[in-house]
Structure 1
């Protein structure tokens, strides 16, 4: 039986994204067996694979990392902690010794079988002698074909796989089948969230126990103490807190995940103003930080209510990705008719308390869809689109992305450099800024260029966010170009 690799591991070995690998499968360039690929088929599809061929993968990883705030990045490093490295090396050494012993036994068995067949070829029964000779010829042929399969390229790929197993552990979740890698000394929970997977959790610091899950296969190691007490019965069943453990070996974990907006509870959290960045005269990026013991769970594209002491409040889309529920980003538009926004531009101070209530809304990524995606935002409607994009980058299942950002003037693209950086770093991502005033005629003129490029939208998922008029105009035009209503997702901003 040839060695099989999961799609996540195969993509990592040849240094491409998982979505790029899925393109090869869909085009027929690469075949799969029970959702996996063989080493030989992988090398046949990507013959240029080298040990150092990780450029595209590194680009995607950089995008994921830059979606997380600096303070959180400092908590983890690229290399695992020495204790974790030692544990992984010890485990692999034991596997190597066991494998070598098994191989020795099989080689001895084959040699004995070979000798028996040679002896049987001397018997008088011509028919039996003929069968023995045929079996001997088959063994010779199999030995030669095996030698051809195990060539230098295969050895190199398997060696790279071993190195990756030391540097990063692979995790598969059941029953969902989601997969991700644990880099550095990150906890299982941190790695899952960074990969865009909505594991169940609460505080992420070992107090609440909501991230408790059962390790079905593999070994883990505790990386931080936790106050939550796991019962002896649960320990015997393999339950661990995902926020307090990392992986020593590849894992299979039985864990709860949120699959729908109704799976995430309503939360009330008191956060602090961490940063106020006025990026243009009309745009303010507000960064809030929750306590270490209480992070916000949400889906990309959702909104919350922000409330100040005294009752002043407003509804805002979260502009950051769910990979870091402690550090939250909001984009405030000074032209919006909102008293909290007006106060934020003039009086809000660092360290000031802001109450968060939510999340709410169903403008979320269609995670089970692998269709190419178009994202369209008008002005500060970019906030939920940014969250969706960062989440999509983390999931790495969408074949291609194209972002159209419309604004009434050049200053309206208040994070233009970020979008251009994404386009430079990701081969599958395109970015087009378009200047258009928020009136029906100007919007239709701007959108006509999009429809010229994508005349048939039947195979796309489309996400649009912006003022009500923008949503209405876009919906009307897109549905005239074969876009099914089930593939059109929208969110109206103030």
Structure 2
């Protein structure tokens, strides 16, 4: 059975099969609904069902609390239509400009940059170029049908190999392979580009980039994209880790700060040990932003990393610093362990 979905306020319409999610149908139709994880964990795709009814597959309650679901809100990445629908969602301009493709790639380098972080470089076929927006991600297609998502850490203007920053999760189906058996010249298949987390180029507002751990990867791509575009927008990068080695490209960030007059860098460590001899900022990284920028009303924020950091930042920036809700853009990194919870 096929249902018709109408999006307000744009008026865009698309068809949705009974066995596919509303988000999948929208992507297939080229309608730019916002999304991130596609598995009911991050909440990026949340919108309101104005009329009609949906059924939700498994999802995390923090992404859609029961009271919000009762009020008519839905996670479109895990909702299927039971009737024709009218939904309310803020569409993302430009999110469907580049085709989503399945492509082979060859591993060219594996560089361990921290005890638990590997930089993986992929060479794409000479006959194909992956067109994407800085901040988007790809999904590796594993042999058992499972998928694993990683943001691209290289700017699209590079036009060469794609780099990814992969954190080792012991017992992880894919990351164990990356850190143990994967070798140069291995072939990996992926699908992309995916996601609506990317720089909005139609604004001149100062940019706050907020990262925890490997959430730095898509923000690195955004900075390099802005450098390539010769953007003069002020950029402040706050990068948080538990210990100094978690900021595995600290030297690169300090070089940006030295070379770019519009760029500032604030590293923040939450659990330094005495042997680290850490002399910089300490505590939660989003609280460092609030201490430095108590008024965010004229800023855009791009946050990427652990869900608890992203959730805390959005709540506090909007409630306490005056950040407009629509100027907070996020990509919460969710793992299989997060989903299992």
Give, in whole Å, the separation in 2 of the partners of 1:397 and 1:471: 26
Segments of 4+ moved more than 6 angstroms: none
Q: Which has the higher contact order (CA 8 A, sep 6+)?
A: 2
Give, in whole Å, the separation in 2 of the partners of 1:445 and 1:287: 31
Contact 2:269/2:284, CA 8 A, preserved across alignment: no
Q: Which residue of structure 2 lines up, in the alignment, with residue 390 of structure 1?
A: 224
SS at match of 2:198: coil
Q: Once the two structures are superposed, what CA deviation does each residue of 1:118-166 show, in whole Å capped at 9, x if it has no partner?
A: xxxxxxxxxxxxxxxxxxxxxxxxxxxxxxxxxxxxxxxxxxxxxxxxx
1:358 corresponds to 2:197 = no
1:348 corresponds to 2:187 = no
1:488 corresponds to 2:328 = yes
Give, in whole Å, the separation in 2 of the partners of 1:445 and 1:354: 36
Q: Once the two structures are superposed, what CA deviation does each residue of 1:205-252 show, in whole Å capped at 9, x if it has no partner?
A: xxxxxxxxxxxxxxxxxxxxxxxxxxxxxxxxxxxxxxxxxxxxxxxx
Contact 1:288/1:328, CA 8 A, preserved across alignment: yes
Long gaps (5+) in structure 1: 1-258
SS at match of 1:374: strand
Q: Which residue of structure 2 lines up, in the alignment, with residue 127 of structure 1?
A: none
- 1:470/1:337 Cα in 2 relative to 1: closer, same or farther (>3 Å)? farther
SS at match of 2:103: strand
- Displacement after TM superposition at 1:325 (Å): 4.1
Give, in whole Å, the separation in 1 of the partners of 2:134 and 2:148: 19
Q: Which residue of structure 1 lines up, in the alignment, with residue 98 of structure 2?
A: 264
- Displacement after TM superposition at 1:313 (Å): 3.7
TM-score, normalization by structure 1: 0.45
1:463 corresponds to 2:341 = no
Contact 1:363/1:491, CA 8 A, preserved across alignment: yes
Contact 1:443/1:470, CA 8 A, preserved across alignment: no
Q: Once the two structures are superposed, what CA deviation does each residue of 1:6-59 show, in whole Å capped at 9, x if it has no partner?
A: xxxxxxxxxxxxxxxxxxxxxxxxxxxxxxxxxxxxxxxxxxxxxxxxxxxxxx
- 1:272/1:474 Cα in 2 relative to 1: closer, same or farther (>3 Å)? same
- Residue in structure 2 matching 1:414, options 242, 248, 253: 248
Give, in whole Å, the separation in 1 of the partners of 2:104 and 2:194: 17
Contact 1:456/1:483, CA 8 A, preserved across alignment: yes
Structure (1 or 2) with the greater helix fraction:
1
- Displacement after TM superposition at 1:420 (Å): 0.9
- Displacement after TM superposition at 1:397 (Å): 2.9
- Residue in structure 2 matching 1:476, options 306, 315, 331: 315
Contact 2:238/2:285, CA 8 A, preserved across alignment: no
- 1:358/1:446 Cα in 2 relative to 1: closer, same or farther (>3 Å)? closer
- Displacement after TM superposition at 1:308 (Å): 4.4
- Residue in structure 2 matching 1:331, options 161, 165, 172: 165
Contact 2:124/2:161, CA 8 A, preserved across alignment: yes
1:274 corresponds to 2:116 = no
Long gaps (5+) in structure 2: 1-92, 272-280, 335-341
Structure (1 or 2) with the greater strand fraction:
2
Contact 1:278/1:284, CA 8 A, preserved across alignment: yes
Contact 2:268/2:282, CA 8 A, preserved across alignment: no
Give, in whole Å, the separation in 2 of the partners of 1:461 and 1:406: 19
How is 1:94-493 mapped onto 2 (pairs within 5 angstroms)? 260-309=94-143, 311=145, 313-335=147-169, 338-436=172-270, 445-479=284-318, 480-493=320-333
- 1:445/1:376 Cα in 2 relative to 1: closer, same or farther (>3 Å)? closer
Give, in whole Å, the separation in 1 of the partners of 2:171 and 2:316: 28
SS at match of 2:113: strand
Larger Rg: 1
Contact 2:136/2:218, CA 8 A, preserved across alignment: yes
SS at match of 1:389: helix
SS at match of 2:313: helix
How many residues are paired up?
233
Give, in whole Å, the separation in 2 of the partners of 1:377 and 1:366: 18
- Displacement after TM superposition at 1:311 (Å): 4.6
